[in-house]
Structure 1
Amino acid sequence: MKRVVYPFAVTLVVVVALASVAAAQEPWQVPRTADGHPDLQGVWANNTATPMQRPAAFEGKDALTDEELALFRARAGELRENEQAGNLLGDLLIQQVLEDPNFREFDAGTGNYNSFWLVERELDHRTSLVVDPPTGRIPPITEAARERRRSLPRPTGGRADSHERRSLLDRCISYGVPNLLAGYNAYFQIVQAADHVAVYQELIHDARVIPIDGRPHLDDSVRQLHGDSRGRWEGDSLVVETTNYSARGAYRGATQNVRVVERFTRVADETIEYEVTFDDSDTWGQPWALMIPLSRSEESIFEYACHEGNYAMEGILAGARVEEAAATQR
């Protein structure tokens, strides 16, 4: 049988092949919005298992070998199959992988739901999220900070006397901004406009609408739970500076004068490098910074109706009243 060759088809195949090769050789380009700024929009996840601070077992070592990483991933997989979810949150997962003697269970008294409900964590070669100082450790607190903690008034009465005696987290009012806890509702939605950027975090639905039009911060006398955020573009990085925290909103024991600088830089289609710097000379001897790789997620942000459905608070207070009544009958 005579074979027929179609020149057009051959040409088309060659053109497509050459185009594919050319596309593969082109450097990645940052996607941009209509106003020319990098497009950061979408839902981004922080499910890293890299510890906040470098564990003592990794002292002087900023990266794992391929063999160490494979071993730790295997161990993390075993823990996921057998541990309750609470013990896999934040740094608790890597503490167990390393058999850290300082590991303490998340909720040893009442237990927790199982890991079926918990997202898988991502391990990479880094040994700490903290990138400055180079030790990978948060700087020690100052003597002024120690004195401040020692002088805090001791609460009178019990923590179950009233809902107001519980923390903002217990009451599902706020987890704080920025949220650095990985693996638990650690999803962020970013929406951009010409003069504002909105950052919405799933955990306790904390949201910020951040002006990027050059307006100054609020007067120093105005203090807010999530501080006062102002944004600007520095090259292809969105820089958000937050000041004016209230005493209840300050992070990790910092004063309300802490200054937090966040940098969002899209480095790939699927990744934003999220850098956060904390500066409070009344708490730490020097500023310190961390970097979290945020991964693009195709999932939606879900309503976090924790405060509205906080049955645990009712149970805590009701249980305390039962205990008090029982004590009077002894």
Structure 2
Amino acid sequence: MHRALILAVGTALCAVPIALAGPAVAQAQSPKAAPAKAAAPYVAPRNAFGQPDLTGFWSNATLTPEQRPAALGDRAVYTPAEVAKLEGAVAKEVEDGNKPTDPNSGAEGGKADPKTLRPEFAAAGGDVGGYNRGWLDPGSSVMRVHGEPRTSFLTTANGQPPPRKGGGGAGGFARGMGSFDNPENRSLGERCIMGFGRNAGPPMLPNGFYNNNYQFVQTKDAFVIEVEMVHDTRIVHLNGQHRTDGERPWMGDSIGHWDGDTLVVETTNIPQAQAYRGSWQNLKVTERFTRVGKNHVLYQYTLEDPTMWEKPWGGEYEFSPLQGVIYEYACHEGNYALPGMLAGARNQEKDSAAKGGAASSSAGNH
């Protein structure tokens, strides 16, 4: 989608008196400047195995959402004015969020009023479970792909997921927030088994809050993706075969191969708990990693499920360098909040039973 605009500039020659004709003619007949040479295509450095080098610490934090805001219709690219407005608003948001919290501000707990927060922050309960804005790092710039400021990751015409077969909706994300019967009914993120959102993927998507960071490691036979949120590691076996034992490991079963300078990763056997917009059993995700510059790794993903969608579809974005390294994310299976939530649900059930009523199906929800 990269477009180059070449402007040809001509020189208009005007009639001049005979006395001045000599210099004017000499100027007109002077050799023209040589046309500028097109920049040579970027060639990724090679590692010890002769592979294009993708290693390093990367981030996909951004203001650009996976789905395009409906008001933008089929516009895939923001205008410069829109980019300045979006990025300027975040700079102000960060500046205000880093100020000391006023405990007498009137907002609950001295935190920001949820009405003034981004929708995703407000949906998480004010300042995202007790953090003010200074603790968050959702991204501060619009995602550029081939230099274009994109309005969405999805590359469908309207930047939206296609409808399901049979006229069904586009499908949402499995939240695991409806039942407090047992810990297995809670979300994987809440149980600290997998990251919040789809950081680990596939497809790998930023979560809109923090820790959208990765480390890529290459060996002769594997491509390893360390996901900071929440200490997940996905191993892509190169030139392997998909498993046939029926097991569906976390993050699915990924195999990869090199197609020129692009690493192609195909993932199947995705578990139900990591369904993408309702698809998991027959879902195949194909990811493409291409080093397109010193500070850019182009990431493209294609989703296929013939039982769910009429044809493959997907999106793209670019990883940028992480200014630092990844440290341990201190989340652990057996989140301390789980016993409290489950105990609260049991107490609500007891109270309801004592009053002769039915317990709420969302007891203890938060």
Q: TM-score range by the shorter chain?
A: 0.7 to 0.9
Give the C-alpha shift of residue 308 in structure 1. Answer: 4.2
Q: Deviations over 1:61-118 (max 9, x none)?
A: 1111111211122223334455779x8xxxx95x68xxxxxx9633259853111111
Q: Deviations over 1:218-245 (max 9, x none)?
A: 1163333321110100111111000122
- Equivalent residue for 2:211? 185
Give the C-alpha shift of residue 28 in structure 1. Answer: 4.4
> Which of 1 and 2 has greater Rg?
2
Taking the TM superposition and a 5 Å limit, the aligned residue runs for 1:127-138 are 127-131=151-155, 133-138=156-161
Matched residue count: 285
- Equivalent residue for 1:205? 231
Give the C-alpha shift of residue 27 in structure 1. Answer: 6.3
- Equivalent residue for 2:279? 254
Q: How far apart, CA to CA, are the structure 1 residues paired with 2:264 and 2:213? A: 19
Q: What amino acid is aligned across from residue 169 of structure 1 in structure 2?
A: G
Q: How far apart, CA to CA, are the structure 2 residues paired with 1:47 and 1:109? A: 18
Does structure 2 conserve the Cα–Cα contact (< 8 Å) formed by 1:49 and 1:182?
Answer: no
- Equivalent residue for 2:3? none
Q: How far apart, CA to CA, are the structure 2 residues paired with 1:26 and 1:285? A: 39
Give the C-alpha shift of residue 29 in structure 1. Answer: 3.6
Q: Deviations over 1:110-134 (max 9, x none)?
A: 8531111112422242111112x23
Q: How far apart, CA to CA, are the structure 2 residues paired with 1:121 and 1:207? A: 26
Using a 3 Å threshold, how does the CA distance of structure 1 residues 285 and 72 change in structure 2: closer, same or farther? same
Structure with more helix by fraction: 1
Q: Deviations over 1:255-313 (max 9, x none)?
A: 31100001111111111111111111222222111112111113222222322462221
- Equivalent residue for 1:13? none
- Equivalent residue for 1:56? 70
- Equivalent residue for 1:236? 261
Q: How far apart, CA to CA, are the structure 2 residues paired with 1:46 and 1:210? A: 19
Does structure 2 conserve the Cα–Cα contact (< 8 Å) formed by 1:144 and 1:283?
Answer: no
RMSD over aligned CA atoms reads 3.1
Q: What is the TM-score normalised by the length of structure 2?
A: 0.69
- Say which SS state the counterpart of residue 85 (structure 2) adopts: helix
Q: What amino acid is aligned across from residue 180 of structure 2 in structure 1?
A: A
- Equivalent residue for 2:132? 114
**Ranges in structure 1 where 5+ consecutive residues have no aligned partner:** 1-24, 97-102, 150-154
- Equivalent residue for 1:304? 329
**Ranges in structure 2 where 5+ consecutive residues have no aligned partner:** 1-38, 98-110, 144-148, 356-366
* Percent of aligned pairs sharing the same letter: 40
Does structure 1 conserve the Cα–Cα contact (< 8 Å) formed by 2:192 and 2:334?
Answer: no
Q: How far apart, CA to CA, are the structure 2 residues paired with 1:274 and 1:191? A: 16
Using a 3 Å threshold, how does the CA distance of structure 1 residues 322 and 44 change in structure 2: closer, same or farther? same
Taking the TM superposition and a 5 Å limit, the aligned residue runs for 1:1-330 are 28-81=42-95, 93=118, 105-107=123-125, 111-119=129-137, 120-124=139-143, 125-131=149-155, 133-143=156-166, 159-175=179-195, 177-178=201-202, 179-183=204-208, 184-212=210-238, 214-219=239-244, 221-308=246-333, 310-327=335-352
Q: What amino acid is aligned across from residue 122 of structure 1 in structure 2?
A: S
Using a 3 Å threshold, how does the CA distance of structure 1 residues 220 and 260 change in structure 2: closer, same or farther? farther
Does structure 1 conserve the Cα–Cα contact (< 8 Å) formed by 2:283 and 2:304?
Answer: yes
Give the C-alpha shift of residue 160 in structure 1. Answer: 2.2
- Say which SS state the counterpart of residue 123 (structure 2) adopts: coil
Does structure 1 conserve the Cα–Cα contact (< 8 Å) formed by 2:214 and 2:227?
Answer: yes
Q: What is the TM-score normalised by the length of structure 1?
A: 0.76
Q: How far apart, CA to CA, are the structure 1 residues paired with 2:77 and 2:257? A: 32
Using a 3 Å threshold, how does the CA distance of structure 1 residues 304 and 109 change in structure 2: closer, same or farther? closer
Q: How far apart, CA to CA, are the structure 2 residues paired with 1:312 and 1:293? A: 35
Give the C-alpha shift of residue 189 in structure 1. Answer: 0.9
- Say which SS state the counterpart of residue 255 (structure 1) adopts: coil
Q: How far apart, CA to CA, are the structure 2 residues paired with 1:248 and 1:75? A: 36
